């Protein structure tokens, strides 16, 4: 774990690191915001999973989350969205497959399986690494994300009961087995066995009985171009949660699109939600 950047913000530090990831068999880059409280004590962490085409840089630059993290004393862990490097397979002409589109699954298909193990990286290797080397409270963590990363946040929480204290998402791909993005990536990384797809689909996991200890918070803009295109399917998430009596707070935000303007408008409320569950006060 090598630190390659440090920037002081809101009394804390935005750091960037690289390390060799055994799960993904390549060098990975991630960012961490350590609030000022981390100078004297261990703090809980909020993991942020970004969307298609993003790296760790988008959220840390565009969302404005650090000021709220500093207020509450919560670290932000911001991984990349896929494996990287010259030896990592890619489809350069497709923004929604290959590099920048890891989809937070453990790939089973050749040639993707060697590197595209993002579920294992996010839920196993990265937490172990940062909790060993940074002033974080072991096991005290929450998760959030946007679009493909919103899908990832929901699925990581549903697949790993007790690993995250709370989960939220912005415009998540709720039912990727029925979404054009999900269909493309699932068939590429996982093959054609739909039972395997359902293990990475929030709606399918909920219908199969997966539980989350707290209410799921989801914000969705009504002017989101991908909502009308059938990529996100929040209505399916709402129906599944109602069927299984799983608490969901789905907020349809009038006039907001899919961009970081939308995320920046509500990220403070999401961090406040996670902070409350984690027992933090401003």
Question: If you write DSSP's letter for every residue of the chain in order, what string do you get?
Answer: -EEEEEEEETTEEEEEEEEEETTTTEEEEEEEEE-GGGGTS-EEEEEEE--TT--THHHHHHS--HHHHHHHT-EEEEE-SS--STTS---TT-TTSSTT--TT-B--STTGGGT-BHHHIIIIIHHHHHHHHSSEEEEEEEEEEBTHHHHHHHHHHHHSTTT-S-BEEES----GGGSHHHHHHHHHHHTT-HHHHGGG-HHHHHHTT---SS-EEEEEETT-HHHHTTSS-HHHHHHHHHHHT--EEEEEETT--SSHHHHHHHHHHHHHHHHHHTT---
**Spatial separation of the C-alpha atoms in residues 91 and 101, rounded to whole Å:** 10
pLDDT score of 213: 86
**Active-site residue (options: 31, 71, 179, 258):** 258
pLDDT digits (tens, 9 = 90+) for 90-144: 999 999 999 999 999 999 999 999 999 999 999 999 999 999 999 999 999 999 9
**Spatial separation of the C-alpha atoms in residues 182 and 198, rounded to whole Å:** 11
pLDDT score of 123: 98
**Spatial separation of the C-alpha atoms in residues 169 and 154, rounded to whole Å:** 7
pLDDT score of 189: 97
Place of tokens 């509500």: 266
29-3-278 Cα angle (round to 5): 75
**Active-site residue (options: 82, 142, 144, 147):** 147
pTM of the model: 0.97
Tokens of 133: 């080397």
Q: Assess whether 270 carries a catalytic annotation.
A: no
Q: Assess whether 224 carries a catalytic annotation.
A: yes
Q: Assess whether 201 carries a catalytic annotation.
A: no
75-79 vs 26-34, strand pairing mode:
antiparallel
pLDDT score of 138: 97
**Active-site residue (options: 90, 201, 219, 224):** 224
Listed in sequence order, the residues at least 6 apart from 280 whose beta carbon sits closer than 8 Å to its beta carbon are 44, 72, 73, 74
Question: Which residues is 76 bridged to in the sheet?
Answer: 33, 46
Q: What are phi and psi of 185, to 5 degrees?
A: -75, -40
**Tens digits of pLDDT across the chain (282 residues):** 999 999 999 999 999 999 999 999 999 999 999 999 999 999 999 999 999 999 999 999 999 999 999 999 999 999 999 999 999 999 999 999 999 999 999 999 999 999 999 999 999 999 999 999 999 999 999 999 999 999 999 999 999 999 999 999 999 999 999 999 999 999 999 999 999 999 999 999 999 999 998 999 999 999 999 999 999 999 999 999 999 999 999 999 999 999 999 999 999 999 999 999 999 987
**Spatial separation of the C-alpha atoms in residues 68 and 71, rounded to whole Å:** 5
């Amino acid at each position: 774990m090598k630190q390659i950047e440090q920037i002081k913000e809101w009394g804390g530090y935005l750091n960037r690191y690289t390390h060799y990831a055994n799960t993904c068999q390549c060098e990975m880059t991630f960012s961490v915001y350590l609030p000022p409280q981390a100078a004297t004590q261990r703090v809980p962490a909020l993991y942020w999973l970004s969307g298609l085409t993003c790296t760790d840089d988008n959220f840390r630059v565009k969302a404005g989350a650090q000021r709220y993290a500093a207020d509450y004393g919560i670290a932000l862990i911001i991984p990349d969205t896929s494996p990287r490097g010259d030896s990592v397979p890619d489809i350069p002409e497709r923004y929604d497959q290959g590099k920048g589109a890891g989809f937070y699954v453990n790939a089973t298909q050749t040639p993707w399986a060697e590197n595209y193990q993002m579920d294992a990286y996010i839920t196993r290797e990265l937490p172990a690494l940062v909790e060993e080397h940074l002033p974080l409270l072991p096991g005290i963590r929450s998760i959030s994300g946007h679009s493909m990363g919103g899908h990832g946040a929901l699925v990581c929480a549903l697949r790993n009961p007790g690993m995250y204290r709370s989960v939220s998402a912005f415009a998540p791909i709720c039912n990727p087995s029925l979404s054009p993005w999900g269909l493309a990536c699932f068939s590429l990384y996982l093959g054609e066995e739909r039972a395997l797809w359902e293990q990475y689909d929030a709606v399918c996991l909920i219908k199969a009985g997966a539980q989350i200890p707290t209410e799921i918070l989801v914000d969705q803009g009504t002017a989101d171009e991908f909502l009308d295109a059938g990529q996100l399917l929040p209505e399916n998430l709402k129906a599944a949660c109602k069927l299984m009596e799983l608490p969901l707070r789905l907020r349809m935000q009038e006039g907001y699109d899919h961009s970081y303007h939308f995320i920046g408008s509500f990220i403070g409320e999401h961090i406040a939600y996670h902070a409350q569950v984690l027992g933090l006060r401003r």
